[in-house]
Amino acid sequence: MLIRRPPDIRESEVTDERLYVNRRQFIGRAASIGAGLGLVSAAPSLLSCAERGDAAGDASGAAAQDELTPYEDVTGYNNFYEFGTGKEDPARNAHTLQTRPWTVEVEGECNKPGVYDIEDILSRYPAEERIYRLRCVEAWSMVIPWLGFPLSDFLNDLEPTSAARFVEFTTLYDPEQMPGQRRNVLDWPYVEGLRMDEAMHPLAIFVVGLYGKELPNQNGAPLRLVVPWKYGFKSIKSIVRIRFMRRQPMNTWAVTAPNEYGFYANVNPEVDHPRWSQARERRIGEFRKRRTLMFNGYAEQVAHLYKDMDLRKYF
């Protein structure tokens, strides 16, 4: 089983006691956020879980025993170059982003191309029922209770054709709203991609919130990708376009520094970055580094996707 569901998860595995004093408080906050996001029937689904003493949603067993990263660190220490290259820049500058109205354009090898409104997406895929507790790794690591839904749910409804072998994602390009785009740090707009079997994996999720709250701008509002077995730069933020493709897309970091960043970006402690070792990682809030796990601890779930691949060549 790839993702555990209620009633298999204890409440303590998802809810940080420092933020949510009790289940009733959590229900109230999450219900109000659900209403603000245009989600359907938030309160009943959360209440039914809480009354049983269970967590409200899904979680991955790989991170079930890890301590959650505090909300302040999750939202205050980010890589989002569209708002600046410093780790505190996104939290300081992302207030300029307007997330409503918002649309996602779909094109390429699928039967249902078009422009999809974020409100329609949120109402069709009710994320309030699914909380994913997942590890995320960049130059540091965090454990975050994401609020979202499987990417595959959305992609399947778009009916990709047999010619679709990859899916490409693009971030909003608007230098007025995203001041970091006024500098030539990267080739804007930011682009990422996945192989179709990766995109259809249950652990690849579209995220609309965290910690029971609406997704903050600095974390990729209103819609971002999270692929927990890959390094953080694969989890593209503030998505405005999805394209089904026959050929592998040119993702931004692989274009910018191809000797340092590949297309796959799987967490692999056996393959060093040219300028540093990736064998150990520093968890936010911890002084000592810890051993980096293959595929970020999700090897049992995802290793089959890369059977017989040379992961030093396809890094």
Annotated binding site for Mo-molybdopterin: 78, 81-82, 136, 171, 219, 224, 235-237
| Cα–Cα distance for residue pair 59/130, rounded to 1 Å | 8
Q: What are 8's two structure tokens?
A: 């298999």
Task: Label residues 215-238 b or e (16+ Cβ within 10 Å = b).
Answer: bbbbbbbbbbbbbbbbbbbbbbbb
Q: Which residues contact 64 (CB under 8 A, 6 or more apart)?
A: 4, 9, 13, 133
> Residues annotated in the binding site, as ranges?
78, 81-82, 136, 171, 219, 224, 235-237
Q: Which residues contact 171 (CB under 8 A, 6 or more apart)?
A: 82, 189, 190, 191, 236, 237, 238, 239, 240
Q: Which residues contact 121 (CB under 8 A, 6 or more apart)?
A: 104, 154, 223
